[in-house]
Amino acid sequence: MTAPTWHYGVTAHYWAEFNTDGPEIDYFRGYVEAAQPALDLGCGTGRLLLPYLRDGLDVDGCDVSADMLARCREAAEREGLTPSLYAQPKHELDLPRRYRTIFMCGALGVGSTRAEDLEAMRRVYDHLEPGGMFVVDNEVPYFKDEIVLMLERAGFVDVTVRAALTDAEPTAADDFLVFTARRPAALPSSDGRG
């Protein structure tokens, strides 16, 4: 059973009105610009997604909260944008498109169990084109090595860990990290189906 989240109603309204900027926007933009199409997994009200769409980048959004997606859609429509948005939990990801980049900013472990997050990583793997990249940041509740092992278990290779938003080697003082992982260029899906 999925853990409950608070991303509905008044909280969705708050995020749409007051959580609209931050250094993550420019940081993740580099990955999106390098390889599109991209998916903002856990896009919420569109804090990262909307600026990328304004710049003409090919990015879709997915979030568990229909309330947050409604706020994202409303903001996009006010600007004449028509994003492809999907209301799905990460661990049930089943979209009609494959991506060169999937990024998840601030959503790992939010409203989910560790088993669901591992399944989410497997689903991300299956939604990436061969050679595609997954970029995920994390502050809590996981430990660095645990995330690396989860990514490797899901089938990812070339897993790297950097200090958040700087790409520096992480130190013991860094409690906010960014992980990158790549789907191999020509291997089967995470469940062996191909």
pTM comes to 0.86
- pLDDT of 12: 43
pLDDT digit of tens for each residue in the chain (194 aa)? Answer: 444 455 545 454 444 454 556 789 999 999 999 999 999 999 999 999 999 999 999 999 999 989 889 999 999 999 999 999 999 999 999 999 999 999 999 888 877 889 999 999 999 999 999 999 999 999 866 888 999 999 999 999 999 999 988 889 988 888 889 999 999 997 555 555 44
Q: What is the pLDDT of residue 166?
A: 87
Q: Kindly provide the residue ranges of all beta strands, DSSP E only, lying in 105-182, ordered along the sequence.
A: 128-138, 157-163, 177-182
DSSP symbol at 16? H
Closest-CA residue to 131 (of 89, 175, 87, 101) = 101
Strands 157-163 and 177-182 turn out to be antiparallel
Residue reference for tokens 């309204």: 13
CB 154 within 8 A of CB 118: yes
User: For residue 122, which of 191, 70, 188 has the smallest C-alpha distance?
Assistant: 191
Task: Render pLDDT for 1-42 as a digit per residue (tens, 0 to 9).
Answer: 444 455 545 454 444 454 556 789 999 999 999 999 999 999
